[in-house]
Amino acid sequence: MATIEKTVAGQWSNLPKELLSLIANHHLHSVTIHILRIRATCTSWRSAIPPPLPPPLSHTIFGQRISIRWSNFTVTQTSIFYRLHYQPSSISSSSEKGWIIMVGNSTSNPVQLLDPFTDQPLSETVTHPYDCKTPPKLLNLCNFRLVELFEAYALTQFVTRQEGDSGSTSFTPFDLVKAILFPNSTSQTFDESSRMVFALYSSGRLSVSRIDEDEGWTSLDAGNSSFDDVILRNGQLYAVDKCGTIFWVDCSTLKLVQFSPILCDFQAKKKKRLVDCNGSLYLVDIDTDIEKKEYYDENNKAIKVYKLDMDHGWLNAENLGNVVFVLGASCSFSLSVEDYHGCEANCIYLYSRHRVRAFSLETCKFKRPKLFWPCPSLFESRFNL
């Protein structure tokens, strides 16, 4: 068996440089992380495929920056979440549990790991308390199988510099909470002319713009609603207002259609986040006073979770089982503790008081979180030889 494996490996390493270059140019496109993996396969592949260059102004390491036709805004894919499985030689030897990483743009390195709670590089964040103050840098991607989970976008505005300065500068609107490209790049088929971007602002305003039309921004309104969150789920866009009512966005007419009843336990001083978990839609209701309030109990909870039932409306979800909810800066998601290293069941992870905190639904108290973003075991030498 060892002889056969060695023979097959030798055949792959002897592929013509022209064929390797063709594969890299036409199949890997500008996905830097895949280029790095293929270059790390062997010496001949590394010499045949050049290292990825810093992205030009019109591209990111993941794909093209999409300009909105009528304005000086662009939609940029800023990060991708991956699931990593340890797979040194064969699928049969892969680990049952995996790791999750958030990979983003970098001006100095091909890729960099980001903190999902701040969208900042891990080396610059205070939310990931590695003992060495900065995360380990060794990660042998050849030993892992990567599965793309989801992606995040940002809205960038380009402004011409003042007279005397050449070029332009770019910035993200300070009050932008979330930007969603619809359909996104994971959609199987779509008409390029139908693409649009949705922008949610801290004021609660939800706006949309068609990328290839000259209509400008259109504010979506459902009776003067103020929105807290928006989510792309199963190819559909949903928004939740401050009363806990979910609306479905009809992207053909840009109309809002009520999708859920109002949350019966509605309180004005609550911040709402939507999470898709195992095919169901959940609402996380967060007390806005958690930044300064110290004491909570079962009758006065800092965070409450509700599950949307199409027959009975909102149901209390007091136990998430072996699931953890992650309320990140650019997106919220759920993870199974059976599938990922470092997760703690029945907890809500969020950024509060300048750090990441874990709220246990079992004890209704905050606790020091276990690390999963990524779990430090990912960088152990036994996985990166």
> How far is it, in rounded angstroms, from Cα 325 to Cα 343?
10
- Burial of 46 (C-beta count, 10 Å sphere; 0-12/13-18/19+): middle
Share of the chain above pLDDT 90, in %: 29
- Average pLDDT for residues 147-156, to the nearest whole number? 84
Least reliable range by pLDDT among 35-44, 128-137, 212-221, 344-353: 128-137
Q: Estimate the crossing angle of helix 32-39 against helix 17-26, to 10 degrees.
A: 160
pLDDT of 158 > 70? The answer is no
- Residue 8 has what pLDDT? 44
pLDDT of 360 > 60? The answer is yes
Q: What is the mean pLDDT of the chain?
A: 77
- Average pLDDT for residues 217-245, to the nearest whole number? 88
Tens of pLDDT, residues 331-349: 999 999 999 999 999 999 9
Comparing 196 with 78, which gets the higher pLDDT? Answer: 196
Task: Report residue 261 as tokens.
Answer: 């009843």
- Residue 245 has what pLDDT? 92
In this prediction, residue 350 has a pLDDT band, given cuts at 50, 70 and 90, of very high
Residue 304, classed as helix, strand or coil, is strand
pLDDT of 124 > 60? The answer is no
Largest pairwise CA distance in the chain: 71
Tens of pLDDT, residues 280-333: 999 999 988 776 666 566 656 789 999 999 888 999 999 999 999 999 998 999
Task: Report residue 21 as tokens.
Answer: 């270059």
Contact 294, 353 (CB under 8 A): no
Q: Model pTM greater than 0.75?
A: yes
Domain residue spans in the chain? 12-48, 65-127+139-158+173-383
> How far is it, in rounded angstroms, from Cα 186 to Cα 149?
10
pLDDT of 71 > 70? The answer is no
Highest mean pLDDT among 13-17, 246-250, 362-366: 246-250
- Burial of 95 (C-beta count, 10 Å sphere; 0-12/13-18/19+): middle
pLDDT of 246 > 90? The answer is yes
Highest mean pLDDT among 176-190, 207-221, 303-317: 303-317
Tens of pLDDT, residues 81-118: 889 888 765 444 445 789 999 988 666 666 788 899 98
In this prediction, residue 380 has a pLDDT band, given cuts at 50, 70 and 90, of confident
Distances (CA, A) of 168 to 60, 77, 106: 18, 20, 20
Residue 347's CB is within 10 A of a number of other CB atoms, namely 25
Distances (CA, A) of 129 to 59, 143, 240, 262: 32, 25, 33, 39
pLDDT of 70 > 60? The answer is no
> How far is it, in rounded angstroms, from Cα 385 to Cα 375?
18
Torsion of CA 222, 223, 227, 231, to 10 degrees: -10
> How far is it, in rounded angstroms, from Cα 295 to Cα 232?
35
pLDDT of 244 > 70? The answer is yes
- Average pLDDT for residues 365-378, to the nearest whole number? 87
Residue with tokens 């089982």: 321
- Average pLDDT for residues 349-359, to the nearest whole number? 90
- Average pLDDT for residues 15-39, to the nearest whole number? 67
Cβ-based neighbours of 160, under 8 Å, separated by 6 or more: 168
- Burial of 184 (C-beta count, 10 Å sphere; 0-12/13-18/19+): middle
Contact 70, 214 (CB under 8 A): yes
Contact 35, 52 (CB under 8 A): yes
- Residue 92 has what pLDDT? 46
> How far is it, in rounded angstroms, from Cα 258 to Cα 314?
14
In this prediction, residue 2 has a pLDDT band, given cuts at 50, 70 and 90, of very low
> How far is it, in rounded angstroms, from Cα 360 to Cα 366?
6
Comparing 62 with 255, which gets the higher pLDDT? Answer: 255
Report which secondary-structure segment, H or E, holds 173. Answer: none
Tens of pLDDT, residues 39-62: 767 777 777 777 765 554 444 444
Contact 219, 204 (CB under 8 A): no
